[in-house]
Structure 1
Amino acid sequence: MQHINIGGGIPVNYLRDQTHASEISENEREMLGAKLTAAEMIESTIDAVRTAARQANAEHLLEDLEIVMEPGRAVIADAVTILTSVRNVKHRPETGEDWALTDAGYNLMLSMVMYQWYYHAIDATRAGESHDSRYRMAGPLCDGGDVYFDLHGDGHLPDCRLLPENIQVGDVIAMLNTGAYTMSQMTAYNGRPFPMAVLVEDDGSIEVIRKRDSYQDLLLNE
């Protein structure tokens, strides 16, 4: 035996802030809050293989054995944060709901609509304040599906996000753990130019790794 492929699917802990757990269904909460790391998965696999080989008197098969795995987004999910600005705040008296409308929709977070993928939101402008006020969130696209909640009511995404009370236009919302495929899945749908991307070095210095598109850039291939 030359190698064992233990596959992928290593979970990412998207729900580090458990104060938001009440807004998410129990099944989704368990998946989003998983704490299994790649190292732990490898160690548990090796232990299981050793035990099975020992019981079968086949430990010689493990000599020079190669462990193969695909950690996927578990490696880079926390390497990207999308910063989006609140462009409008409104209250709907007929439902009693407060809404926060941002300038980042599924043109930047396609997985949120395609797979109902949860990205944790915090108000970076007021990060030190309590996030205990419920807001429906939506993006800027002319599309009724450009929302941060589950339109189909399947419970994959929370109906509301917890943000500080009385958020203001201009507040910057940080969408955490948005690494893995984010830039490759971005779309200029609805005439939305791609945003700038920057790399923050260990010493705090910032390097622009992708310039902000202009509206003229949208016409380059026309």
Structure 2
Amino acid sequence: MNKLIKTSDVNDAGHLQIGGVDADFLAKKYQTPLQVFDVTKIRQAVQAFKRVFEEEGVDYEVSYASKAFSCLAIYQVMAEEGAHTDVVSGGELYTAIKAGFPMDKVSFHGNNKTRSELEMAVDNQVGVIMLDNFHEIDLLSQILKEKKAKIKVMLRVTPGISAHTNEYIQTGQVDSKFGFDLGSGQADLALEKVLANPDFEMIGVHAHIGSQIFDVRGFEGCGQKLCELSSHWLEKYGYQCQVLNVGGGFGISYTEADTPLPAEEFVRAIVKEIKTYCSQHEMPVPQIWIEPGRAIVGPAGYSLYTIGSRKDLPGYTSYVAVDGGMGDNIRPALYQAEYSAVLADQPLAEPEEKVNLVGKYCESGDILIKNCPLPKNEPGDVVVLLSTGAYGYSMASNYNRNPRPAVVFAEDGQDKLVIKRESYYDLIKNDLKY
């Protein structure tokens, strides 16, 4: 039995249920491959983060890192939960606008925002733009001058902390494409440029040390670094940070081997670190922002596939192929991400074999789960990958000219299609004949 499956995840028929809806039913109704989200789990994750801040008595924002999964419906849910959100592209910003998400609760990230993206942000009066480099300071200055506008900004810094995570998703170390370095004086120079421009309202500082982090010490260190920087800026420039944004990256359970702390406990540790520093240095406690993405939607997501072909070789692990793969979840191929899987109609069944669960794409690396424990299975069975809500659909592609899957939200026993399955026509609608 997979320990990630709880009794409440199984209905009276013995089938996996998602948001109270039978997974086998969803596969039949919407076809596979299919991405399904349990909306109640999403709401509960946001509420758990907010509860910690309320208990600690500090001003805060829980900002959903929408690069984890972006669509009209998720921004609507975030708005209903009173969450902030961060976007990293014109496309994400456009989607949030069309969803009716309040622009004053949007922060705009990115290490190479284009002029048109920054203009869109200014025109729509986003809550804050996260300045990432000197080019961006100059470019946004020009835009604000041309438009006779003002906007709130924060500086992103690299705190010099290398999180214990995959090297491709470490972002807080000195040698990073993101943010202003502290040790070299870049951050000080950036602050000087921002404070010298009356069109900027400088509200605080941001850092992000990486993703899928299990060790709370990295976040405590990040909180301390930002406090030290804030103290330094107050002493040197007389500038008081209103906001310390410690980013996100809280780890989740993808397999039974993953044993992260509850995500809200990371936040409690961060808050306590900042409150302690401020008390010792007689500083007011600033607003504390976090930016969870994976921790909000990751555990709430499920990928449903139908089993097709099988290859058995004596002395080797068998290959069981499904109708999706790296086109809808590139993470295993990209950085060896690991997942768990169950059969939709018997999620509590004990495994009888280990197989390589592979996709249909023309790459030998299209392996969703190596040595995947499964009960007896056959073509037509629906297999479900667990905790796939983050960076699966958002990184999906049309490789091999395969359409991207549909996305369904399930809540309180009701299912709702929120992204249509792409058609073959969708694949060629932007093509032009030569």
Q: Does 1:76 align with 2:297?
A: yes
Structure 1 counterpart of 2:378, from 158, 168, 185:
168
1:38-63 per-residue CA deviation (whole Å, 9 max, x = no partner) reads: x2122112222333344x3x3x4134
The equivalent residue for 1:66 is 287
Superposed, 1:95-174 pairs within 5 Å as: 95-149=315-369, 159-164=370-375, 166-174=376-384
1:97-144 per-residue CA deviation (whole Å, 9 max, x = no partner) reads: 222111111000012211222222111122131124211111001221
Q: Does 1:14 align with 2:234?
A: no
Q: Does 1:221 align with 2:419?
A: no
Summarize the Cα distance change of 1:47–1:91 in structure 2 as closer, same or farther, 3 Å threshold. same
Residue identity in the other structure for 1:11? G
Richer in helix (by share): 2
**Separation in 1, partners of 2:405, 2:368:** 19
Q: Which runs of 5+ in 1 are unaligned?
A: 19-28, 150-158
SS in 2 for 1:81: strand
Superposed, 1:168-187 pairs within 5 Å as: 168-187=378-397
**Separation in 2, partners of 1:169, 1:115:** 29
**Separation in 1, partners of 2:262, 2:300:** 18
SS in 2 for 1:99: strand
Query: Is the contact between residue 253 and residue 299 of structure 2 (CA under 8 Å) also seen in structure 1?
Result: no
How many residues are paired up? 191
User: Structure 1 length as normaliser, TM-score?
Assistant: 0.78
Q: Which runs of 5+ in 2 are unaligned?
A: 1-240
User: Structure 2 length as normaliser, TM-score?
Assistant: 0.41
User: How big is the shift at 1:216?
Assistant: 2.4
Summarize the Cα distance change of 1:5–1:209 in structure 2 as closer, same or farther, 3 Å threshold. closer
**Separation in 2, partners of 1:124, 1:131:** 14
Sequence identity (%): 29
User: How big is the shift at 1:83?
Assistant: 0.1
Residue identity in the other structure for 1:111? R
Larger Rg, first or second structure (1 or 2): 2
Q: Does 1:90 align with 2:301?
A: no
**Separation in 2, partners of 1:145, 1:126:** 28
Residue identity in the other structure for 1:145? G
Structure 2 counterpart of 1:210, from 409, 419, 433:
419
The equivalent residue for 1:41 is 266
